[in-house]
Amino acid sequence: MTSARLPFQPDQVERDVSQAARDVMLNCILAWAALDGALSMLLARVSGMSYPDAAEAIGRESGTSKLNKIRDVMLEAGAIEVAALIRKHKKAYEKRIVPRNRIAHAKLAGAWKNDSEFLVFAVFERHQTDSLAIDLIPLQEIKRSAHWANALTAMALRVVDADEEWANF
């Protein structure tokens, strides 16, 4: 991801965003929503809770929190290698979710006029001392984020559905 470090002017942004770019963003949001549900189901499974009980207990916890709890259950069960794998997935999760968070929590200003493959997001975060941040995110990075979320969702659901809990993880 690219954060603009130089003054970024509104005339550098094409306000109209193509339908194809909107579809890429929508796919990303939907992929991460599916991952959130899959992680909840996985946490329920490893914790021995029913889905309704887990839904009440988990509430609206973040994916990072769910992965931490899954790791903790694995450590308590003595599954050190699985816990280490979960930790790696958590680190990747925190890196890969950034495009999703920009889409969901920042203002889409438009496409960058210099390269329409970059979307411009106005982020409500301080940049330097007297301005707000602007992030330029390539559509390819948004696609990779969605692909990664879909892959982890599939893996989590294989574990949830597996006869042997960790055979496919």
Question: What is the distance between the alpha carbons of residues 101 and 112, in angstroms, rounded to a whole number?
Answer: 19
Mean pLDDT of 43-48: 94
User: pLDDT of 84-112, one tens digit each?
Assistant: 999 999 999 999 999 999 999 999 999 99
* Total-model pTM: 0.86
Mean pLDDT of 124-145: 81
pLDDT in the model for residue 7 = 61
pLDDT in the model for residue 123 = 81
Label the pairing between strands 2-3 and 13-14: unpaired
- Per-residue confidence band for 56, with pLDDT thresholds at 50, 70 and 90: very high
Mean pLDDT of 122-151: 85
Whether residue 128 is predicted with pLDDT greater than 50 in this model: the reply is yes
**126 or 25, which is more confident?**
25
Mean pLDDT of 33-44: 95
* Ramachandran area for residue 111 (φ above 0: left; ψ -120 to 50: alpha; else beta): beta
| C-alpha distances out from residue 156 to 30, 37, 166, Å | 16, 10, 10
Question: What is the distance between the alpha carbons of residues 153 and 164, in angstroms, rounded to a whole number?
Answer: 18
- Per-residue confidence band for 122, with pLDDT thresholds at 50, 70 and 90: confident
Mean pLDDT of 72-83: 94
Of 150, 5, 156, 163, the residue nearest 85 (C-alpha): 156
Rg (CA), the chain: 19
Of 120, 125, 124, 157, the residue nearest 142 (C-alpha): 120
